[in-house]
Amino acid sequence: MLARQIINYAVTVISIILCVLAILAPIPGMELLGIKPNWLLIWLVAWSLKRSLLSAAIAGLVLGLILDGITASDPSHIFSFMLVGVLTVLIYKHLMKKMQEDFISVALIVFGMAILVETIRALQFSQMGDHTLVDLWLYQQQVALSSAILSSLWAPVIYFPLNRLWELMKSSGSMNYFS
C-alpha cells in the first residue's frame, strides 16, 4: 500500500512537472495567435473534478504559485486558479455528476475556465493602471479565446490518462490524500 501511495504521489508530481515543461518548451504547431494551451489549468480541472473544495483550492494555490514562478507574477495567477479549482468542484458536484462524464464535458469546463482565468487577468491588468480596460479587452479577447480553444482541445489528452490512473489508485485504496 505504501508503494502505491508513493507511485500516486510521484505520478501527480511528475504530471505537474510535465505540464510546466510543456509551458516552457517551444512545441511547433502548438500555438494559436502566439498563445499556448494553459497546461496547468487543464491539470487543475482534471484534479479538481473529483476532489473536495479544500483540495481544489490548495491545488489552485500551488499551481498559481508555480505559474507565477515561471511567468510574470504581476498580476498573480493565484486567485484565478483557486477560483477555477473551487468552481470546477461545484460544477462537478451539481451538474456533471448527473450527466455522463466524457471528453466533451471536460473540454467545455476547461474552455469556460480558460475564459474566466484570462478575464480575471485582464481585470487585474486594468487595475494596474497602465492601460484602459477597452485597450486591454481588445487584446484579451484574442488571448482568452485562443487559450480557451487550445486548452479545451488538449484537455482530454491530460484528463483521461490522469483520471484513469487516479481511479485505479482510488480503487486500490491508496488515494486518500486531499480526497
Q: What is the pLDDT of residues 90-130, one digit of tens each?
A: 998 888 766 766 778 899 999 999 999 999 988 888 887 77
Q: Which residue has the cell 491588468?
A: 125
In a domain, 176, yes or no: no
Confidence of residue 142 (pLDDT cuts 50, 70, 90): confident
Inter-residue contact 94 to 61 (CB < 8 Å) = no
Across the range 136-151, mean pLDDT stands at 88
What's the distance, Cα to Cα, between the start and end of the chain in Å? Answer: 17
Q: Check residue 95 and give its pLDDT.
A: 80
Does 32 or 53 have the greater pLDDT score? 53
Helices (H), 49-132: 53-70, 78-94, 103-128
In a domain, 123, yes or no: yes
In a domain, 50, yes or no: yes
Q: Which residues contact 138 (CB under 8 A, 6 or more apart)?
A: none
In a domain, 128, yes or no: yes
In a domain, 131, yes or no: yes
Q: Check residue 137 and give its pLDDT.
A: 80
Does 153 or 72 have the greater pLDDT score? 153
In a domain, 63, yes or no: yes
Amino acid at 27: I
In a domain, 23, yes or no: yes
In a domain, 96, yes or no: yes
Q: Check residue 46 and give its pLDDT.
A: 93
Across the range 67-82, mean pLDDT stands at 88
CA nearest to 59, candidates 89, 90, 24: 89
pTM score of the predicted model: 0.88
Does 56 or 29 have the greater pLDDT score? 56
- When divided into structural domains, the chain yields a total of 1
Domain region containing 93? 2-171
Give the other-Cβ count within 10 Å of 29's Cβ: 5
Q: Is the pLDDT of residue 88 over 90?
A: yes
CATH label of the domain that carries residue 112:
1.10.1760
Grid coordinates standing for 13? 508530481
Q: Check residue 173 and give its pLDDT.
A: 62
